[in-house]
Amino acid sequence: MRIVDLTPEHESIFASCLEERLAEAREAGSLRAEWIHVMKNRGLRAKLAVDDTNTPIGMIQYVPGRETLLDGSPDAYFIYCVWVVRFRDERGNHQGKGTGAALLEAAETDAKALGASGMAAWGLVLPVWMRASWFRKHGYRRVDRSGMAALMWKPFLPTAAAPKFVLPRKAPERIPGQVTVTSFLHGHCRAANVGHERARRACAEIGGPVVYRVIDTKSMATANEWGILDALYIDDREVRIGPPPSYEKIKRRIEKAARRLGSASAAAGD
């Protein structure tokens, strides 16, 4: 195993989060590829772990702090994802072999060379994917928390100030006479992209009073206005999209909102 920079040779598989054979990767469409295209010019960095056949088996992606929703430390970098694959085929399981640690070390070395004051990452407080406890083992400390997500931080300079999460500033408002499904669409996460795509398809199928709209949060001005990077709302209620709910579940929730709207309209007409 060796760590390499992302190059055009591997950009397509990187856009699928190294799992191009999964149906879910195809369902997510081109949203992540579009995010990569935009962010390459705004400081996106990525390292891949490749095996002896030059096949990617792990990845890490990170951006300047100014290109995500962090308050403070704009000269730090932020890790969106560290992922080592566990294939269910002949390619095998590559987790638990130090690949993630090697990717993290390579990213930190790169960020230091770029003049970063520190490295931040989000981690779940639950013992699942992107565990906060894993970052703690590698010298990070928790400096903020929002729900199940902890903001982990490793300063590279003694004067580096710890960042904080930017929290939601507002939510979509209910619009009389319609059900509004709002995708705050950033594109960096394949799983979230699947949720957005399922919601878009469900809205098109239901039709009627259901309106689907996209708010493009690749624009940091827009993301900061809302305090939201990646989220899905039905009217003013958030729907969790990580991991993505099934198409059927999303469709049922939108249909339920449409039925409530119809009942309210009927009652108003009595």
- pLDDT digits 0-9 by tens, 46-66: 999 998 889 899 999 999 999
C-alpha separations of 155 from 77, 107, 135 in Å: 10, 14, 13
Please tell me whether residue 246 adopts helix, strand or coil conformation.
coil
C-alpha separations of 129 from 32, 121, 125, 231 in Å: 20, 13, 10, 19
39 against 91, higher pLDDT: 39
Backbone angles phi, psi at 264, to 5 degrees: -65, -40
184 against 97, higher pLDDT: 184
Q: Report which of 250, 237, 188 is spatially closest to residue 40, judged by C-alpha positions.
A: 188
Q: Is the confidence at residue 270, as pLDDT, over 70?
A: no
pLDDT of residue 263: 67
Q: What is the mean pLDDT of residues 102-129?
A: 94
Q: Share the mean pLDDT of the chain.
A: 92
Q: Is the confidence at residue 249, as pLDDT, over 80?
A: yes
Question: Structure pTM?
Answer: 0.90
- pLDDT digits 0-9 by tens, 202-226: 999 999 899 999 999 999 999 999 9
Q: What is the mean pLDDT of residues 86-98?
A: 72
Q: What is the mean pLDDT of residues 252-264?
A: 87
pLDDT of residue 269: 54
Q: Is the confidence at residue 261, as pLDDT, over 80?
A: yes
pLDDT category of residue 85 using cuts at 50, 70 and 90: confident
Q: How is residue 154 annotated by DSSP?
A: E
- In order of their start, the domains of the chain are 2-165 (3.40.630.30), 179-269 (3.40.30.10)
pLDDT of residue 86: 78
pLDDT category of residue 264 using cuts at 50, 70 and 90: low
pLDDT of residue 265: 56
Q: Is the confidence at residue 94, as pLDDT, over 90?
A: no
Question: Which of 42-51, 165-174, 244-253, 258-267 is predicted with the least confidence, judged by mean pLDDT?
Answer: 258-267
For the chain, give the percent of residues with pLDDT over 70. Answer: 94
